[in-house]
Structure 1
Amino acid sequence: MQLEEVNPAIKGLVVLLSVIFLSLFLTVWTPLLFFIITVLATFAFGKVSFKKWLLVLLPFLLVAFGYLWTSIVFADEEFKIGSKIIAHFWFITVTESTLQNGLSLALRVLGFASLSLLFIFTTDKTELMLSLMQQCKLPPKFAYGILAGYRFLPQMKDEFQTIQNAHRIRGIKRATTLKDRIHQLKRYIIPLLASAIRKAERTALAMESKGFTGAKGRVFYKTTSIKKKDVIFLLSSFLVMAICYYAPKLFHFTF
């Protein structure tokens, strides 16, 4: 079973339930096990580039380190009382309770990040919108609007580069001061907004000319359904949650 073949609505439900599950525990081993299993599942059952995945994960690693650092350095003194001292560096005292709290928060962030990356890298945008309309009963006018807006993002990037090149050709120097940067930003925003409005109007006219009114009960060229593999994926997620919850207790991991 490939993750790309799983119904996006079921996949999103699993991500939502997993986030709620991770939010209930302030331990170290449960989010750590969940993070490891999620990463293994991403590469074992999904066609994901490790280099691209790691590149997107890097900001979350920095956020996780920030949680760990602040939990240790800025912990309340009452939180340290009665806790075993592990290390002491200059004005920083690392106790067992502060380290556990920091690691728990950091691993929870990594768990959320791994779930998000699993969903993003293994889900097609069109399939997601179709699933939301057919399984979750999302109104078509919202779904197609979101999909159309997403399709415009790469074009906005190309237009931004075109405007930059046009300014350079006309001899407009690159801004160096804060005041110049604000004026430069205005020169970029107004043409981009005008172009976005024109694209939105053309898209609306094109959809209306094809008979799209946003009414419910429309017929889809491609249909999505909940299949046996989707149920297996959902049940497997419950099994993973159970393993992450009971394994630390079974092996007496108290930290």
Structure 2
Amino acid sequence: MVSSINPSVKMIAIVIPGLILSLAFDVMTPLIFFLYLLMVTVFFSGVNLKKWLMFFIPLSVFALMLAWTSMIHTDEKYAGGDILVDFWWIEITTGSLQVGISLALRSMCFIALTLLFALTTDPTKLMLSMMQQLKLPPKLTYGILAGYRFLPLFKHELDLLRQAHQIRGVSRTKGIKGRIQRFKRYLIPLLANAIRKSERVANAMESKGFTGSRERTHYHDIQVQKRDWMFLASMVSALVLAFYLSYTFGYLNIFGKTF
């Protein structure tokens, strides 16, 4: 399963295809790679399909809107070919249509890559892996991890503040001015609690000998195994295959130049 892959290797396997795929302006290359990502997500990620669709569909709608905007405002360098639609100020050619569809497919690939990483990666293991494999400073990684752990606590404290104000009869004025007043009432108690919690965490870490040194042992030893390299190789190979098939069938287009 993808969830068992080393987080740092997984992040590299997500970033590299995303950067290289941004060079392709044809339709076939992102389409082939998107189909591969769907296969990996459905059969090898272990992610609930309904949960995946809850994130993917809204983001895809935004990607389609972006593609439509790009289609009707395509640069003259890419907007060649026959005119398909000529209505009022809207003019769509075969070139601009290809650019729009290509942008939509690339955006969907980026969304699928992001969801594949986000929904299969444990934040704690990610921080530990970045510290052990990518050699990030422990102060930075533990600080990010502590901040991430505080987010649910802040939401709980905000709910308690709202309930306390309701019990005491604090009126909820409507409009922008009322929202600003409520924000001020919530801000100071939340900041005070955040400062107290951060001081407690800092004191606890110092009492347990945390100095921020890179030369330290780890209770959870995150290692890179053979399956991690196989996952990285499969992602890169799938992208190379997509470029090769697109080139073989004469669709490959990189920055407006067809190969």
* TM-score of the pair, normalised by structure 1: 0.92
Structure 1 counterpart SS, 2:84: strand
Distance change in 2, residues 1:81/1:144 (3 Å): closer
TM-score, normalization by structure 2: 0.91
What is the deviation of 1:90?
A: 5.1
Amino acid at match of 2:166: R
User: Which residue of the other structure, out of 155, 161, 164, is the alignment partner of 2:153?
Assistant: 155
Q: Which residue of 1 aligns with 2:131?
A: 133
How far, CA to CA, are the matches of 1:174 and 1:142 in structure 2? Answer: 40
Change (3 A) 1:218 1:4: same
Match of 2:169 among 158, 171, 176: 171
Match of 1:97 in 2: 95
Counterpart amino acid of 1:174? R
- The runs of 4+ residues in structure 1 deviating greater than 6 Å are none
**Are residues 93 and 179 of structure 1, via their aligned partners in 2, closer, same or farther at CA, if it must alter by over 3 Å?**
same
**Number of matched residues?**
253
Q: Describe the superposition over 1:62-96 as per-residue Cα deviations: whole angstroms up to 9, x where unpaired.
A: 221121221233345x4687521223455433211
Structure 1 counterpart of 2:196 = 198
Between the aligned partners of 1:41 and 1:210, the Cα distance in structure 2 is 42
Q: 2-side partners of 1:137 and 1:212: how far apart?
A: 17
Mapped partners of 1:200, 1:17: distance in 2: 36
| 1:209 equivalent in structure 2 | 207
Q: 1:53 to 1:141 in 2, by over 3 A?
A: same
Instruction: Please give the residue correspondences for 1:63-102 in structure 2 after superposition, counting only pairs within 5 Å.
Output: 63-75=62-74, 78=76, 82-89=80-87, 91-102=89-100
Does the CA-based 8 Å contact 2:7-2:125 persist in structure 1?
yes
CA RMSD of aligned residues (A): 1.9
User: 1:9 is matched with which residue?
Assistant: 8
Write the distance in 2 (CA, Å) between the matches of 1:99 and 1:191. Answer: 53
Following the alignment from structure 2 to structure 1, what is the Cα–Cα distance between the partners of residues 7 and 100?
A: 33
CA distance in 1, matches of 2:43, 2:79: 44
Structure 2 residue corresponding to 1:113, chosen from 111, 126, 149: 111
**Residue 186 in structure 1 maps to residue 162 in structure 2:** no
How big is the shift at 1:24? Answer: 1.2
Q: Deviations over 1:10-52 (max 9, x none)?
A: 1111111111111111111211222221121022111101111
Instruction: Confirm or deny: 8 A CA contact 1:80 1:95 kept in the other structure.
Output: no
